[in-house]
Structure 1
Amino acid sequence: METVEDFTKVESIFVRGRNALMLRGQFTPIYTDYYIHLMENKLRHKEQLDTIIKEKLAFLTLHLTARPWAETVAWTVNLRAPRVNFFATGSSVHESITGHLFTEGVKEGDRNLLYSQTVVDGKEARRSTIELEDNDPVHWIESYYSQSEQRPARAFKLADENFVLIAAQPDCDLEWLENLTTEDVEKLTETEPTKLLETRKFRFHCGCSPEKFLPSLAQFKGNAEALFQDDDALEITCPRCGGKHIITPDMF
């Protein structure tokens, strides 16, 4: 059975005098599960790319906590140099975040872009595309809030895998927000009147399994030979997390 320690707890805190919302979390539990996932699937990323995907997972998790519970959000970032796609998706309802990066078969675009999709059951998906100036996830989420959320936000990387997102609310003290430093954020709950609004918890988890890929192979039911071509099994890679799954003829 999972314990609270298996999850990253994200706090949603209202900064009263500044009319700002602070989201903060310590991401070691998510990163531990992320590295176990890489090890189990024999995946290894270059250090620079690994750092970027981890920070993207952290900031998407904070963003999810700033949003209504029912939303599932997916972010895909396409970079020109290095030529790579970063994917991350998460849901407060399922208390999970997952992601993967792709370095093969990535088309080179003329700009760095972030593609966002927000889904609520029973409603049409909401999509937006944001142009990015560099390879820093801190600037990605700040650009996303400025262009898509239509309000400013600041993102911070603190010590010991702690991350913070501070988003403007109506009548926010924008000068204060713009001039915040990492040192200010580290002691914010001591220097400003605040109120804890809620906490949510997340883990690194995709939920993929061999059985979930079978519907996409339904056309081969009754004709497994065409799919397996004399092989004993077929390996399928999950596009969400990079997990590898084995499909055998008897599963049909």
Structure 2
Amino acid sequence: MSEPISVEEFTRVESIFVRHRNVLAVRAQFTPIYTDYYLHLMQYGLRNPEELDSMLKDLLAGLTLHLVARPWAETIAWTVNLRAPRVNLFATGGSIPESITGRLFTEDVRETDRDLFYSQTTTQPGAEPRTSTLQIDGRDPLFWVEQYYMQSEQRPAKVFRLPDETFVLVAAQPDYDEEWFGALDVAAVSGLEQAEETKLLETRRFRFHCGCDLGKILPVLAPWRDKADELFHGENQIIVQCPRCAARYEVTRDML
């Protein structure tokens, strides 16, 4: 039996309503999630290029905050397809399991004529996901989230990096104060609770966790059972990566 997870391993995400301004501020300090992310990479001998690693971490932060701004039952996956460097950044999570995971794809990435952001939202197992696709600009994942809000959520949002790996998503609600929102900067967001009337709506706990294991990987390989030679190429074992978190699993012919 696995060891119980201590509270310290979770990132605490606060959902704060700013009265009179009619905006929702979602705030979290991501060191626990980032620590588990790096432990995951170490466990499987993975190492990402520094620039792409930072971008993936920002995308994980943006999706976590977005999940808390959305209804509880949703599972959301974001895929960003970049042309230069040619890479896919993937992040997915859900509020019910309170978990987030993700990875980079640097091989066999489809080439496109623009940078694209794909979102899939599922509300219950087996249901058809709600999808959206948009063209994005720049190399800042937090700006991608802001573009996603304008085009897919149909409302403005801003995402801020604060010191100590803290991020804040500020999302407009109906009848929000447009002038105040437009002037928001890091200093204003840092002192939000001192300068504004706020109410803490809820607190959630998220961790970096995929939940994959060999038992979930093997059924995906079932169609290869009668074509084992094509899969193994003369070897007795192969390494299979989880498509969600890049965890590596050793699969032998006998396992099929």
Q: TM-score normalised to the size of structure 2?
A: 0.94
Q: Which amino acid aligns with 1:39?
A: M
Q: Which residue of 1 aligns with 2:250?
A: 246
- Cα contact 1:154–1:178 (8 A) shared by 2: no
Per-residue displacement from partner, 1:61-120 (whole Å, max 9, x unpaired)? 000000111100000001112221100000011111000111222232111110000001
Residue in 1 that maps onto 2:215: 211
Question: Which of 21, 24, 30 is the aligned partner of 1:18?
Answer: 21
What is the deviation of 1:249? 3.2
Counterpart code for 1:208: C
Name the CA shift for 1:145/1:223 in 2 (closer, same or farther; >3 Å).
Answer: closer
Aligned equivalents of 1:101 and 1:222: distance in 2?
A: 31
Match of 1:192 in 2: 196
Query: What is the distance in 2 between the residues matched to 1:220 and 1:147?
Result: 41
The more displaced of 98-107 and 69-78 is 98-107
The total of aligned residue pairs comes to 252
Structure 2 match to 1:148: 152
Aligned pair partner of 2:205 in 196, 201, 205: 201
User: Which residue number corresponds to residue 105 of structure 2?
Assistant: 102
Give the one of 127, 132, 154 matched to 1:128: 132
- Tell me what 1:48 maps to: 51
What's the counterpart of residue 89 of structure 2?
Answer: 86
Deviation (angstroms), 1:225: 5.5
Q: Aligned-residue CA RMSD in angstroms?
A: 1.5
- State how far apart, in whole Å, the 2-side matches of 1:16 and 1:108 are: 46
Helix, strand or coil at the partner of 1:17: coil
Asked if the contact 1:75/1:87 (under 8 Å) is kept, the reply is yes
* SS of the residue 2:54 aligns to: helix
CA distance in 1, matches of 2:183, 2:162: 17
The separation in 2 between residues aligned to 1:23 and 1:124, in whole angstroms, is 28
How far apart are residue 230 of structure 1 and its match?
4.4
Q: Residue 247 of structure 2 aligns to which amino acid in structure 1?
A: G
Aligned to 1:232: 236
Residue 63 of structure 1 is matched in structure 2 by 66
Q: Name the structure 2 match of 1:180.
A: 184
Report how far residue 9 of structure 1 moved: 0.8
d(CA) in 2 for partners of 1:220, 1:124: 26
149-158 or 113-122, which deviates more: 113-122
Structure 2: tracts of 5 or more residues without a match: none
Q: Give, in angstroms, the shift of residue 34 of structure 1.
A: 0.4
* Aligned mates of 1:102, 1:180 — CA distance in 2: 35
CA distance in 1, matches of 2:38, 2:212: 17
> Which stretch has the larger CA shift, 98-107 or 143-152?
98-107
Give the deviation of 1:220 after TM superposition: 4.2
Which residue matches 2:167? 163
